[in-house]
Each structure stands twice: as structure tokens, then as C-alpha cells.
Amino acid sequence: MREEISTISNYFFQVTWRRLGEYHFLSVGDLPWVKDPNLLVEFRELTPEVTEWNLIIKNVTPAHEGTYECKISDKNELFRHIHLKVVDLRPPITISGKNFVETGQPIRLFCNVSGPDGMYLKVDWFKDGDSMQYPSARNAIITNYNLVETNVLVSELFIDHSHSTDSGTYICRSTMGIKSFSVTVLFADSTGDPEGETPRSGCRRQHLDPYSLLAWAALAFVMISLWNLRSPIRPGQRAS
């Protein structure tokens, strides 16, 4: 918030900032008057007659919304009111997590819900249209907790050991809306076989074409013939 002040040279005055409805100053001169690291005062002298006294609020939240008063300690008590409106641009509901996990790995989804001050926030989980409230989903653990921020609810869905049946569309339904998230559980083959087939033994079957079979048969016939020719003929035995 910026306030530009025109003064008379060599005339002493004091500038203060405060929020209406509170009985203490936020700043006096160029010094903060409250122990708030998010508040500071920026003083700039534009000309000898014109100065700026800017109240800066870092990390603004809806709690900072209100009407602020800049006052000059003069015999006429000059002041100006500035209304601060904080607009929350965060989406009211979001889901985060991993879309793809391997079999046996955990599934962890987070549903963040934010709402206006004083609104009761509630979250319900569904998978493929079916409620995941206990005991319908025995393998899922759902934990809800509030953040330090104003009216923010976080719901965590946790599945320790995932299976193929855990693939599907997960839905987070709250008082602020509905969001869906797709999860696919992948089959992890420990052997590294791209086909996903585990061989039953250390030998692999090789399929031979007909020409190779004929060549092996011819080679076997030649080997048998040579063996018969080299074998000696015993007495009383006919040569074959």
C-alpha cells in the first residue's frame, strides 16, 4: 500500500499506519511497530517536498484483508483509508500422485481442498464409482488432516502393496467440488523378458526350418555309412 505525501521544508511530522478496528499501530515512521516479519515500511524521498511511506505486506493471506489507515501527525490530522481485498486464486480442490506404479509398489494420492473461513470441509473417496470408505476398501488407508493455512483440508489415500485390481479412476469428492485421477498398476517382470514369459529351464527351444532338418538327416546318414565302412568284419559275420 502506497501513500505519497507533500510537505513543507523543515517541517516536522510523523506518519503512522494501522488497520481499522485495531488499537495499535502497525508502523510509526519508517519502523514497524508490531513483531510481524511479513510487515515492513518503505520510505522514499522523491523530492525535498514529496515523500513516500509504503506499507508492504509479504506472504499476504485472507487474514490481512481489511481497511488500513495512513495518518499524518499534523495540527489538522490528515489521514487516508485504503481497503485491502485478498482474492484466493488457488483451485478449490486438487489431486496429486503418480499415474503409473509397478505391482507391489505403494499408491499414494493427495486431495487438497480449500474453502472460505468457517466452512466445514469433508472429503469422500471413490474408485470406479464405488465408495472407498471402510470396510468396502480394506487395503486402503485414508487420513485427513488440516494445514496451518486458513481452512485447508488434505486427504491422503494410501495403498501399501498395489495389485492389478487397484488400477482405475479414483475420485475425490468434497464440499468444494469433485476431481478424478487415473492410476495404472504395471506388471513388473523380474527376469527382464520383454514378453513377460519366464523360461522353465535353462535350455531354450530353437525351431529349425525344413531345409535345416534335411541337412542334419543327410549328415547323420553319411556318418553312419562311414562308421560301418571302418568297422572290422569278425569271423563268421557277414558284411552288410
Q: For the chain, what is the mean pLDDT?
A: 78
pLDDT (0 to 100) of residue 4: 46
Mean pLDDT confidence for 66-90: 83
Q: Domain check: are 72 and 112 in the same one? A: no
pLDDT beyond 90 at 116: no
Mean pLDDT of 132-140: 72
Question: Would the pLDDT of 112 be above 50?
Answer: yes
pLDDT of 44 reads 84
Query: 156 lies in which domain range?
Result: 93-186
Question: N- to C-terminal Cα distance for the chain?
Answer: 118
Task: Give the residue, 195 or 227, on which the prediction is more confident.
Answer: 227
- Residue 127 burial (CB count, 10 A): 19
Q: Are residues 97 and 44 in the same domain?
A: no
Confidence band (pLDDT; 50, 70, 90) for 200?
very low
Same domain, 121 and 102: yes
- How does pLDDT run across 213-223, given as a tens digit for each residue? 666 677 776 67
Q: Is the pLDDT of residue 145 over 80?
A: yes
Q: Does residue 44 share a domain with residue 112?
A: no
Identify the domain boundary among 84, 101, 118.
84
pTM value?
Answer: 0.48
Q: How far apart are CA 50 and CA 60, in angstroms?
A: 28
Whether residue 117 has pLDDT greater than 80: no
Average pLDDT estimate for 152-179? 91
Domain count across the chain = 2
